[in-house]
Amino acid sequence: MQLIIANKNYSSWSMRPWLFLTQHGIPFEEIRIPLYTPESEARLRQYSPSGLVPALLDAHLAVWDSLAICEYLAEIYPHSHGWPADRAARAVARAVSAEIHSGFTALRSSLTMNLKARYRWQQCDAAVMQDIARIEAIWALCRNNYGQQGPWLFGEFSIADAMFAPVATRFVTYSVPVSAQSRTYVDTVYALPAFQHWYDAALRETEVISRYELSDRERLA
Ligand SMILES: N[C@@H](CCC(=O)N[C@@H](CS)C(=O)NCC(=O)O)C(=O)O
């Protein structure tokens, strides 16, 4: 299988299935296409029917979209336990994954993923603050009700964690003040070996995408 991704520093959608594959030791070849270069669009179209990353190629099948890729992988690699075994937990895991997949546009557009950067916390507009509060509420709900068997949202690492991992990095990048429980979850994401591999590679990238570098915030790193 081949996974088409973009810059590890910036591409939050790419990170999700990459983490899922790597965490479960599923062999794949990574094809990295940096975004917003003169060749990006043509190269993306060569692999991805939507022209977006991530895309997974498995023989003649192309699966685009982060959540669809994770679902596909969970079906063909049952050892990955993509969703929790308990039906109620599984329904909630699907609901929160769908919610992050389709929502949080204020957070996504104002606090874009940028693993290398650190900004001093600065109050955001109401829509972003609402998104942050909702994410913390989701994490608290999952951890309190379904997280007894381990440190992840549903105890064991699941697709839901792959979907929320990039959000954890935004909380670090923008020094978002979060509850102790959310902080523990963020630390759990950062401690995951698969995440560490992605993060180390992101730190070594040299591309700078200026639209994702904020000039109106005080930079700490
Ligand atoms: N809903 C899609 C979103 C994919 C997406 O927006 N990817 C961005 C990068 S993170 C992209 O490919 N952008 C390329 C472009 O805009 O040209 C998913 O879950 O995979």
Ligand 1 lined by 48 (C-beta under 6 Å):
no
Q: Which residue is closest in CA terms to ligand 1's atom 16? A: 52
Ligand 1 closest atom vs CA 36: 17
Q: What is the pLDDT of residue 221?
A: 80
Q: Which residue is closest in CA terms to ligand 1's atom 15? A: 52
Q: What is the mean pLDDT of each run of 10 residues along the chain (221 residues)?
A: 98 98 98 98 97 97 98 97 98 98 96 97 96 98 98 98 98 98 98 98 97 90 80
Ligand 1 lined by 12 (C-beta under 6 Å):
yes
Ligand 1 closest atom vs CA 52: 12
The CATH code of the domain at 2-80 is: 3.40.30.10
Name the residue type at position 132: I
The CATH-assigned architecture of domain 87-204 is Up-down Bundle (1.20)
Name the residue type at position 179: S
CA distances from 78 to 60, 70, 73, 203 (A): 21, 12, 8, 32
Q: Does the predicted model carry a pTM greater than 0.95?
A: yes
Instruction: Tell me the domain boundaries of the chain.
Output: 2-80, 87-204
